[in-house]
Structure 1
Amino acid sequence: MIAAMLACVDKGEEVILFEPFYENYAPDAILSDAKPIHVPLYQANDHWYFDEHELRSAFNKNTKAIIICNPNNPTGKVFTRSEMEFIAELCQEFDALCFTDEIYEHIIYNDDGVQREHICMATLDGMKDRTVVVNSLSKTYSVTGWRVGYVIAPADITNAIRKVHDFLTVGAPNCLQHAGAHAMQLPDSYYQQLQAEYQRKRDFIVPVLKSVGFKCAYPEGAYYVMTDISDFGFNDDFEFTKFLIREIGVAVVPGSSFYQHKNLGKQQVRLCFCKKDETLQEAANRLQKLKQLH
């Protein structure tokens, strides 16, 4: 992502981010001499959404790009087709690029007959030449330590990204690139099994969280749960995070780390369930101690 932004964004231009956001996006914009513009995601009825008027108001003549993480980290939101089409219309109207982080594209859940789909922005009308797809082997193939990723974009953009990337990391180890190319030839059954396995883990841990006092929705994708901790009586997310580590033995990420406006995340924490079953069960056992707090 940072290579793509350094290659495409000039000093003084603006990059729109949905908030809460993956922690690297705003620093990536700043390192590119751009100004990050934050548009809030709201939660209601167990669903995260954005206000179309607020998003439109964020676009202007200085807008260079918008970043979309779909499925979203940290909320687990999967953007609908209508939402993606609305964003596409704005990108075309204001001549903006769309950076899409699609690292969780194969981790999308279905609930009560709702069949969700991952929509690549580049496939929408008018977006092929203004979409920069950023992806990685990390989540789909469980090789986060390899740090192997790729970008799909028009040739003039990828040429610029290659020049920047060469001075950032030179290149990933050759053997890991070959291994990644082999992994990407796995049959559809692999991705179906991956989705089913994470959905099973999600469906185990979310009821546990709800039962001990967290307020949260079932994520639509990715493998995180963004939770509300207001019922536990702590002043902020860092205080609660330290308590969980020291007294309960469970580690979480403070919610404010995903916000530019830190106060919005002071009563939230993010949990991750891409763990072994025995680890999730042990976490569930330890979290039972929280029942005494409310």
Structure 2
Amino acid sequence: MAHTDHPALLALFDRELREGARPDDPGGRVERTGGVVRCVATAQGWNGVVWSALDEAEADAAIAAQIAHYTGLGLEFEWKLYGHDRPADLGQRLRAAGFRPEPEETLMIGEIGELVLDAEPPPGVRLEPVTDPTGVDLVADVHEKAFGADSSWLRDQLLARLSADPDTVVAVVAMAGDEPVSAARMELVPGTRFAGLWGGGTVESWRGRGVYRALVAHRARAAAARGYRYLQVDASSQSRPILEHLGFTPLTTTTPYLYTP
């Protein structure tokens, strides 16, 4: 597939990662019901709708059915809405039903063989693989400092993934001496051509020095070694220019809509 064939690449992404979704969490499951594909996990895992094929006549009923389902389980959940999803007013319908939109991000995909992967960490910084609880604590520590958010869910999820399914996750932390300054993970989706880049966060004093670029290149090389063809990222406005510079293509937007019972 030519890398310029954006509609075909987006269709492949939809088919393999959304319509054909697999559980994120070792204890999770994927359910297909009434034009919707959803992930159901524990309260610590990720719960939400990853794919929908709805028309204007059925959208509101489908939204109500998802609210009833997750509320019945006592779970908050996310409806992951993409810019090309139908009906065109699905976001407005979600807001009307009580969902709260989070900041919009850009879905970017890079064909690994065409990316610029020569980025190395800056002097004094080394990249270390994360394979045990000590490393997971470093990742969670960076996440809290970089994003200013509680990271207990990340600690639980990453520990569970590393113990139950280590072949599906690559986590890495950037160390300056004894200090963790950046961290990121990659989720490999067996049976697809895609690996996903997640959680690339750098503490404020180390931003702008090329650490994030080095983490992207490190994970891209690891994905290529495992036979994956594409990398997928939900990019913030801060990371989008860096990723474009490395050769990633913006394909559409993605917005998490959150529902709390």
User: What TM-score do you get using the length of structure 1 for normalisation?
Assistant: 0.29
The structure in which a higher percent of residues are helix is 1
Whose Rg is larger?
1
Task: Report which structure shows greater RCO (CA 8 Å, sep ≥6).
Answer: 2
User: What TM-score do you get using the length of structure 2 for normalisation?
Assistant: 0.32
